[in-house]
Each structure stands twice: as C-alpha cells, then as structure tokens.
Amino acid sequence: MAASGGRDWEKRTRYCGTLRKEDAGREVVLNGWVQTRRDHGGVIFLDLRDITGIVQVVCNPEFSREAHSSARSVRSEYVLSCRGVVRERPAEAVNPRLSTGEVEVMAERVTVINPSRTPPFEIEEGREVDENLRLRYRYLDLRRPELKEALVLRSRVTREVREFLSSRGFLEIETPILTKSTPEGARDFVVPSRLQPGKFYALPQSPQLFKQLLMVAGFDRYYQIARCFRDEDLRADRQPEFTQIDLEMSFVDPEDVMSLMDEMFVHLFREVLGVELYRPFPRLTWRQAMERYGTDRPDPRWGMEIRDFSGLYRDSEFRVFRSALEVGGRIRGFRVQGLRSPSRRELDELVEEAHRLGAQGLVWMVREGEDLRSPAAKFLSAQEVEGTLRESGLGEGEVLVLAAGGEEVGEVLSGLRDYCARRYFTRPREQYSFVWITDFPLFDWDEEEKRYKSNHHPFTSPSRECLDFLEENPSQVTSESYDLVLNGVELGGGSIRIHDAELQARVFRILGLDEEQAREKFGFLLEAFQYGPPPHGGIAFGLDRLVMIMAGKESIREVIAFPKTQSGTDPLTGAPDAIYPEQLGELRLRPV
C-alpha cells in the first residue's frame, strides 16, 4: 500500500465532481463515499461521491486485479481512496445525467479507509423519509443532495451578505449570547448562573439593544449574522434558535436603510442565484397594504387586489349589505383570477373557505352577459348590477367575491386570496416579489391587558407628523418602521430608533411604563443615551426564511444543518435532557 507518513490511505489529488473530458489520461487519487456499487461479476462499477459530486470508478480485473478484488467487498457508504486513470467513456456509455458523465476512472487501487453499516435510509435524492429518522441520522440526511445543496446555498448567501455589507463600511461585531432578560416580545430562554446563585441570564431574542449601544459607541455601521432565541411554539418557518442578518446604521433615515437593502438583495440574488431584481422594490404603507391586500405581508404576484364596493350598495335592498353599512361596516371584495364560469360546487367551496377563515358569509357574483348570477341577484337593482360590473371590471364568466363587515373582513379576504392563488393559479408572473411595508402603527391596543403595546419595539421612533397627538390618539400614531416582504413571507423589519430622551419617556408613558420601571428594564440603554446617542436605525432579516425561499423549500428545517422537531427536541443529540443532581446543586436549582 502506497501510504506516506502515518497514513494508510492516499490523499486525493482531485475532487470527484470536477473530472472532465480534458482530464483524460491523467492519473488521479479520489477520496469519497460509495454512492452505489454495480457488480457485473467481471467488472464492478463504483459511483464515488464527495462534496463536489459523483464520478464512476471502473474496477476491471484485466486492468487491475487488486482493485477489482477490493471492490468486491465494498458496500454503500464505504469510505474509499481510489487511485486510477481518467479516461473518456466509450460514446455509447456516456451518462448525460452526470456532470462527470463523459469520463470514468479506471481503478488501479481501491483502499477501504472505513466501512459503513447499512444506512437506515437510502442516501438518495427525492426520497421521503420520516422526519424523526432524518433528524436522528442528520449526518446521513445531510449527505443527500437537496440538503447539501441548501447548505451550500446558505453559505454563499452569508458570504455575499458579508461581502456586500463590509464593502459598504459595515463592521461585523459579535454581541453576547448570555445576556439580560428583557420584557415585551417573546418568552426568553433562560440560563442559570452558578456564580450568582438564583440569578439567570437570558439568551437574546435579537441583538437589538447591543446594536444600539454600538451606535452610541460610534461604530456608525454594524452588522452581524446573529443567532437569536425565542421560546415559543415552532412552525414550518419558526425554530427556537434562528439566524438574523442584523444591522444598524447611524445618521440615517428610513430611505437610507431601505435603498441600501434594495441594493443588498439585488447583489445577493445576482451573485447567488443569477437572478436580476429590479430596484427600487415597491413600497406600500401599512394602511395601503391592509386596504388592498388585507394583510401586512401581501403577495402581490397574484393580483386580486381588494376593493371597496360600499358606495354602490348604500341603499341596497340586499339586507346583508345594507345592515353592515348601517353599522359602519364596509363591503369589500376582489375579482377572482384564474376562475371562469365556475360550477356551483366551486362557488360553494369559496364560501366554505371564507367560513373557515372566520367570515360570517361571502357573496359571489358571476358575470353573465350584462347580468349577474348571484345569491344576491334578486335583491340588486339594475343600477347596482351595472355599477358592480363597471367598478369590478368583471369579464364574462368571472367571479367577484364580496364580504360585508368591519376591518376583520380584510383578514378573511386576504386568506381567500391565498386560497384562490393556490387553487386557481399555477404559476406566478414573477418568481420573486419584494415589497416594503412602511409606516406601521407605533402601538397596538392589547385587549387582554387593556394597554398599548409596541408594534415593533419600544425604541421605534414615531413618525414626525404624529408627535403632536402622541398622547391624545396613540392608535393613530404611525412609526418610522419598515418590513420587507418576499412572496408573502415576512423577511424582516426594522425602524429608525428614538434618540431623544424626552420623546422616549413619552413613549414609555403611553406603554404604561413609569420612569422607574423603564429604568429597571432598560436603564443601561437610557443611561447610554445620556452620552450623545446619534440618530440611528436598522433592520434585521430572517436568514433561514430567506434561504428557504431562495432554495425553494417549504420549511426552514431544510436549510438548517441541525434543526429541532416541532416539540423542540433534537433526536440526534437527545437535547433537551435532564442534568445530574450535582449540576442542579451547583446552580442552586431544585426541580419543582
């Protein structure tokens, strides 16, 4: 065996997936895993896999008796070192489905570096495998191309984010993982302190306060690919620990942040996916988004904008409409796209879906010539029919859906848009649709606690024009905030922060925090703000969700190397787990 030093295997000279026709005649050494073995009795074919791809290794006894005999004992997922000569495949044996399909390696020597047990599932593309099994053997799951490619993509995304931001003067600075619990927001993960018995660190929900301190410190532009922790229930797009592209800038307004982020995503999609996006990304105020899409994270790709038809039915004989209007409600709806001359069944399904979404009811109207087919038809005047046709722009056989009620109708219609898009639209007009949503309300009324809560966080700056009525009418106050939505998924959001102590105090008062409480909770930040805080603002994006969309996946688990199950466990390591009584003792903890 031609080993060197203490090794009993030969180091590779090339990667499997890189071999091409031009390499014919070259002697190479490959290191990798056996993807498959095809034994023809005489000749044995091995597909050898490494991070770059797969190449066929031919073990022919006439070429090398030794290689052939070692290959006989080889099985799937064995780790090999193969020395051989690259040669062009015979024309009829070319495999167009492999990037290396025009060549093969004639093995001179095959060394088994390590055998492998038969894997619990097949390491192959597109196989459905039980989620628990996949996670328990994640290192095997990660050998499969989909997952491997997703992580390669993820690495390229973070590299390009770093590349872009550092080229724009941002400094990458780490912030603590062991930190202080902050009120508001999600439930904290908590870590007991040994040195301070009875006291606890909290894991950060985001680096929010630290990045603001970095602005006070004068770093001007900060970013971090930051791990964040929130102890809430999991979803397909939510893990207890997740990663944000987090950044903050000094001396900026919302425009600066948004236009720079436009540039960043254009750069990212160009470099990583080769997709050209158009700048600037469209923007909607929160109010506009709610009005036209019924949600603060619209997907405009489907069209079907919501319109207000209230004016048409002021004096309608149709009681559902008239009585809704009489109590201050509205009639809103949209033209369903992709559905023409529907069956009664399809219409019933729309109504059913609306009920599922919490609607009292749904009225459909189908254009038939100059007339409307609808459960409400016999109550509608000629004028109302004519107006409906005109204002909706309904084509022959097309469907208008209308719902009557208060603002909650928007939510129903939004859900119904999604339903119609899934049901009747096969392909979107564009693959990627970015939208900025701006001017969110600063406060939300919390009905349970009977108080205002921050929509974003307590340091978000109110819009300038709202300063005069901050206290008088908090629910009408908008903020200098912005969310970026991609294909109906909230990618991230941010705001310009308050840098004025007096204004901050006013906001705290509205949130029901007196000076003392504010000092207790955020004292260190407020104190820092007494030493010359610059105007500043920033934003944070969910990296997992971004990569999920870029990779075309349905769950962020598919773009995270070692994710957790919905119940927050890791079947691979067995976390979370009990700890020894001694450990509890050291921490002065006792199970309840």
Partner RNA sequence: GGAGCCGUGGUGUAGUCAGGUUAACACGCCGGCCUGUCAAGCCGGAGAUCGCGGGUUCAAAUCCCGUCGGUUCCGCCA
Helix, strand, coil abundance in the chain, percent, nearest 5: 35, 25, 40
Enumerate residues 6+ apart whose C-beta is below 8 A from 516. none
From 5, 25, 97, 195, residue interacting with RNA (rule: CB under 7 A): 97
CB of 330 to RNA, least distance (A): 22
How far is the C-alpha of 105 from the C-alpha of 85, rounded, in Å? 5
For 312-459, strand residue ranges (E) read 330-340, 363-368, 371-373, 398-405, 434-438, 443-446, 451-454
CB of 205 to RNA, least distance (A): 6
Binding mask 211-250 for RNA (x = CB under 7 A): -------------------x-xxxxxxx------------
From 10, 23, 104, 439, residue interacting with RNA (rule: CB under 7 A): 104
Per CB under 7 A, 132 contacts RNA: yes
CA dist list (Å): 8 to 152, 546, 554, 560: 31, 44, 44, 35
Exposed, middle or buried, 315 (CB in 10 Å: 0-12/13-18/19+)? Answer: exposed
Binding mask 169-208 for RNA (x = CB under 7 A): ----------------xxx-----------------xx--
**Which tokens belong to 542?**
């969910």
Q: Which segment (129-137, 248-256, 362-370, 384-392) binds RNA by CB under 7 A?
A: 129-137
Host H or E run for residue 502: helix 501-510
Residue whose structure tokens are 């003792």:
585
Residue whose structure tokens are 């820092």:
528
From 351, 463, 569, 584, residue interacting with RNA (rule: CB under 7 A): 569
CB of 545 to RNA, least distance (A): 11
Nearer to RNA (CB atom), residue 309 or residue 440: 440
CB of 87 to RNA, least distance (A): 8
From 1, 62, 378, 530, residue interacting with RNA (rule: CB under 7 A): 62
State which of positions 280-309 bind RNA (CB under 7 A): 296
For 240-390, strand residue ranges (E) read 241-250, 283-285, 307-308, 330-340, 363-368, 371-373
CB of 448 to RNA, least distance (A): 8
From 405, 557, 559, 560, residue interacting with RNA (rule: CB under 7 A): 557
CB of 454 to RNA, least distance (A): 8
Nearer to RNA (CB atom), residue 342 or residue 415: 415
Nearer to RNA (CB atom), residue 476 or residue 566: 566
How far is the C-alpha of 423 from the C-alpha of 350, rounded, in Å? 10
Per CB under 7 A, 451 contacts RNA: no
Pick the closest to residue 376 from 391, 388, 393, 359 (CA basis).
Answer: 388
Nearer to RNA (CB atom), residue 285 or residue 569: 569
Nearer to RNA (CB atom), residue 233 or residue 348: 233
CB of 401 to RNA, least distance (A): 21
Q: Coil, strand, or helix at residue 562?
A: coil
State which of positions 458-517 bind RNA (CB under 7 A): 490, 493
CB of 324 to RNA, least distance (A): 23
Per CB under 7 A, 115 contacts RNA: no
From 18, 52, 76, 360, residue interacting with RNA (rule: CB under 7 A): 76
State which of positions 521-550 bind RNA (CB under 7 A): 540
CB of 157 to RNA, least distance (A): 19
Nearer to RNA (CB atom), residue 67 or residue 266: 67
Per CB under 7 A, 314 contacts RNA: no
Counting other chains too, the contacts that 267-275 makes at CB distance below 8 Å and 24 or more residues apart are 267/160, 267/164, 268/157, 268/160, 268/161, 268/164, 269/432, 269/550, 271/156, 271/160, 271/163, 272/153, 272/156, 272/157, 272/160, 272/550, 273/550, 275/431, 275/432
Per CB under 7 A, 98 contacts RNA: yes
Per CB under 7 A, 75 contacts RNA: yes
Nearer to RNA (CB atom), residue 457 or residue 536: 457
Q: Which segment (52-60, 394-402, 501-509, 522-530) binds RNA by CB under 7 A?
A: 52-60
How far is the C-alpha of 451 from the C-alpha of 215, rounded, in Å? 31
Q: For residues 522 and 458, is the Cβ–Cβ distance under 8 A?
A: yes
CB of 325 to RNA, least distance (A): 27
How far is the C-alpha of 102 from the C-alpha of 187, rounded, in Å? 56
Pick the closest to residue 207 from 233, 167, 176 (CA basis).
Answer: 176
How far is the C-alpha of 61 from the C-alpha of 107, rounded, in Å? 10
Nearer to RNA (CB atom), residue 137 or residue 334: 137
Burial 189-219 (b: 16+ CB within 10 A, else e): beebeeeeeeeebbbbbbbbbbbbbbbbeeb
Residue type, position 258, single letter: M
Nearer to RNA (CB atom), residue 403 or residue 437: 437
Q: Coil, strand, or helix at residue 191?
A: strand
CB of 276 to RNA, least distance (A): 29
Nearer to RNA (CB atom), residue 138 or residue 367: 138
Q: Beta 283-285 vs 434-438: how paired, if at all?
A: parallel
CB of 547 to RNA, least distance (A): 16
Q: Which segment (37-45, 194-202, 377-385, 506-514) binds RNA by CB under 7 A?
A: 37-45
Pick the closest to residue 542 from 489, 582, 503 (CA basis).
Answer: 489
How far is the C-alpha of 542 from the C-alpha of 537, rounded, in Å? 17
From 5, 6, 25, 90, residue interacting with RNA (rule: CB under 7 A): 90
Per CB under 7 A, 566 contacts RNA: yes
Phi, psi of 544 (to 5 degrees): -60, -45
From 18, 60, 99, 310, residue interacting with RNA (rule: CB under 7 A): 60
Binding site for RNA (CB under 7 A): 36, 38-43, 45, 47, 56, 58, 60-62, 75-76, 89-90, 92-95, 97-98, 101, 104, 118, 120-122, 127-133, 185-187, 205-206, 230, 232-238, 296, 440, 444, 455-456, 490, 493, 540, 555, 557, 565-567, 569, 571
